Amino acid sequence: MEKRAVLNKKNNQSYEYFARNSVETILTLLKSSKRGLTHQQSVLARESYGENVITQGKKNSMIIEILKAYITPFTIVLITLAIISFITDYVIAAPEERDLVGVIIIVVMVLISGTMTLIQSVKSNQAAEKLKNMVKVTATVLRRQKAIELPIEDIVCGDIVKLSAGDLIPADIRLTKTKDLFVSQSAMTGECYPVEKKADYQLVKEAMETDYENIVFMGSNVISGSAEGVVFSVGDNTLFGKVAKDVSEKNPQTNFETGISKTSWLLIRFMLVMAPAVFLINGLTKGDWFEAFLFGLSVAVGLTPEMLPMIVTTNLVKGASSMAKKGTIIKNLNAIQNFGAIDVLCTDKTGTLTQDKIILEYHLDCAGKEDARVLRHAFFNSYYQTGLKNLMDVAIIDAAKKELSIESEDYRKVDEIPFDFKRRRMSVVIEDRKGKTQMITKGAVEEMLEISSYVDYQGTVTPLTKKIKNELLKTVERLNEEGLRVLAVSQKTNPASVDEFSVSDEHEMVLIGYLAFLDPPKETTKAALEALAKHGVGVKVLTGDNALVTKSVCKQVGLANEQMVTGNEVAKMNDVELKTIVEKYNIFVKLTPQQKTRIVETLRAAGHTVGFMGDGINDAPAMKEADVGISVDTAVDIAKESADVILLEKDLMVLERGLLAGRTTFGNIMKYVKMTASSNFGNMFSVVIASIFLPFLPMLPLQLLFLNLIYDISCMSIPWDHVDNEYLDTPKKWDSSKIGSFMKWLGPTSSVFDITTYLFMYFVICPQVIGGNYHELAPAQQAAFIAVFHAGWFIESLWSQMLVIHTLRTPKLPFIQSRASFILTTITSLGIVVGTVLPFTAFGRNLGLSVLPANYFVLLGITIFAYLFLVMIVKSFYVKRYGELL
């Protein structure tokens, strides 16, 4: 029965079974071996136990995408209005008065908004999928004794997986071999401290699944050490997958998403107040409650920015595509706004300020002379370790292959003690053909001096006295001042060990020399730092390296006069003291991963939008804590998974270009939101005033709907507009309160000239065309009077709405100091042309518009010029009051 329960791939895999039984039993059960699976066996395993994919969080089906595109707060309002309009204009209307034009216009608005949103959503999903495929998380798997890198989704039950520091655990795995393995299970248990895992763990009493020391779980990551194990559960059948099924994890809303939501409901509430007010005013003043009701519906449509979802989605997709071209992959589209809002960038030194191309410059004995023996021992240490090989290990191996003749088959690795960030060193034990064993350790100088009791100095092994230690430290200091990173190498011959070697064996060693590495600054770093500063982003260097090396590099990139704060100093500070320090200083050295995270937390608590750029396992906690985690495609797995943004080049200049693209995207979204909100507010404010004093409706419902349709279609070109360079100079944060103030300041400016247009049309233009004042005319002439009036205000409203787009898109002088993109200019110009010729067409006459005299267009020119002039004055005062226009 127990075996049958285990083989039930869907529901009842028993973790206790895999923790309790021997490795041989489990391998037999899974039809695998310590050599790994064959290709055919992997195919069968996938068919039997499923794919290594978590279905929770998979992309939505097309039906869901369609519903999301067409059903938004705005389109629900429009659909409701269309239903009401259909009932009033068609169902209950007299046969000769039935008219579906209004319904058709509303439906067209819904279709345009929904279809464009759907198209952009599909493009967004495709782009996101394509970008994610560019950043593959892989695992090392044995397939018939051959170690290969496979994408984690290709891993199956029965695979033998090798793990080392920095790896994400790709599935639920029963460990078969471990070496000082420490794993972070915070994704599963919430515990922040790593736990030790052991292959030889014996289950003797009942325990929680996550307490089984010989099992590691998908979603965890290796902090230090190494291991090997057999996969027994994948995808949805893992513990992580089961949790994902029970709890729908939803990322907290970003500032951007919250801003969009607040703005949407602000505009809807505004519409729910204005539309009924217009209905009541017109019903009371005109007496025709049915006509007033229809007009109130049209006002509601006019106040609904139904294109907002489409504009936002289009901007985000276009922004992500633009950033991808600039070498920046956005894993989450909604992170774009936070990316553009970054005002503090925290970054490691290695690989960001420097070239990340480590070169072994010197291999010195303890007297400071070149010594091939030091390089030989360093080679053995780097070559035989199975943990995460860093760039210094690669540099050592490359240098040894060029300078030495080493027959690796003459040596056998006995054991190793993997690297961890607390010890900052690692050891290997090797044996030669004669049976001689050596423990060789390399690591940070201070830590190596702690475990070395002797020194090979000038050909003699002597006790490591304080005097010799000071001389050695002076040599290291001199190398550090030259910008060289220094590691020390120690060894111990024929070390004794009872069972296997451990950290406790790293003592009474003989220091034999140093390794000095050069990681020169990138040529672009100085210019990139200046560019980031120009755009309002402060750069703070958070490094685990020592002060002297960091000072040398910082001096070369223009940060020479910066005071440094050490990790020891940070450890002694309380939160209040640290808050003052992180604001004042920009370079922090000798930091632990926890101290990096604490600094990021402190900066965020102070109100900064923080980006953290890193590529190592020690950077992952700080990346998760930051508003935007930034990594590179060559980073370790856990760093890439923790990141919101991935750079295809590890270069601050690429980051700066992506950051500007994010701000451009945000700027274009704000253009539509603020311009549409203020324009609609101004128009409706004018409608309220006109409704009080005019003896007829200032514009027919169909005319108002068609006006709104032309404006919305023109706004679809906004995502292709560019923004002023000055706008890009400062970080951008969504502030919904400023949208209300923008509406109050800029909206009524159009009403001033709407009212002057009313006056001229009512007292000058219409009487001139029709031949008398409204109240003196016969009913047929009054109808003609109204048609001329409607045509005059329709064209004036259209011109003002179209041209104010160009005026409000920039705080500068429009058309002269700042020009819109060709696409935006072309589309808005076409909108003006269509609206202007409309009264001269049969369709225009069907809408209730009439031909206008030539002197109207003189009046129109003066009105629009005066309106744009007033807008420029008001926006100037607005900028002085609120600091920025958009």
Catalytic residues: 348
Whether 356 contacts 585, CB under 8 Å: no
In terms of Cα–Cα distance, which of 625, 627, 630 is closest to 649? 630
Q: Which is it for strands 538-542 and 344-347: parallel, antiparallel or unpaired? A: parallel
Q: What is the dihedral of CA 469, 472, 473, 474, to 10 degrees?
A: 130
Q: Which two tokens stand for residue 560?
A: 């020479």
Q: Which residues are CB-neighbours of 355 under 8 A, at least 6 positions away?
A: 519, 520, 521, 522
Tell me how far apart the alpha carbons of residues 411 and 383 are, in angstroms, rounded to a whole number: 11
- What is the residue-wise DSSP string for 403-470? H----GGGEEEEEEEEEETTTTEEEEEEEETTS-EEEEEEEEHHHHHHHEEEEEETTEEEE--HHHHH
Q: How many angstroms separate the CA atoms of 256 and 336, rounded?
A: 9
- Rounded CA gap, 260 and 336, in Å? 14
Q: What is d(CA 242, CA 248) in angstroms, rounded to the nearest whole number?
A: 11
Looking at residue 174, its amino acid is R
Helix or strand (DSSP H, E) at 676: helix 652-693
Q: How many C-alpha atoms does 71 have within 13 Å on its Cβ side?
A: 6
Contact 480, 549 (CB under 8 A): yes
> Which phi and psi (to 5°) does residue 746 adopt?
-90, -25
CB contact at 8 A, 552 and 480? yes
* Residues 6+ positions from 58 with CB-CB distance below 8 Å: none
Q: What's the gap between Cα 14 and its chain centre?
A: 38
User: CA-CA distance, 506 to 691, in Å (whole number)?
Assistant: 90
Dihedral sign for Cα atoms in the order 36, 38, 44, 50: positive
The neighbour count for residue 530, using CB atoms within 10 Å, is 13
Would you say 170 and 155 are in contact if contact means Cβ atoms under 8 Å apart?
Answer: yes
Name the 3-class secondary structure at 607. coil
Cα 19 to Cα 767: distance, rounded to the nearest angstrom: 95
The structure tokens listed for 638 are 């856990």
Q: Among residues 852, 867, 731, which one has the least CA distance to residue 806?
A: 867
95: its two tokens: 């046969």
State the Cα angle at 524 between 520 and 530, rounded to 5°. Answer: 115
Tokens of 345: 């960038």
In sequence order, the 6+-apart residues with CB closer than 8 A to the CB of 617 are: 165, 166, 221, 222, 223, 388, 636, 638, 639
Greatest distance between any 2 Cα atoms in the chain: 123
Radius of gyration of the chain (CA): 35
DSSP 249: -
Q: 588 - beta bridge partners?
A: 542, 565
Please report which helix (H) or strand (E) contains residue 787, including its range: helix 779-808
CA angle at 783 for the pair 686 and 772, rounded to the nearest 5° = 90
- The residues near 19 (Cβ < 8 Å, ≥ 6 apart) are 174, 201, 203, 212, 214, 215
Sign of CA dihedral 39, 40, 45, 48: positive
Contact partners, residue 61, CB within 8 Å, separation at least 6: none
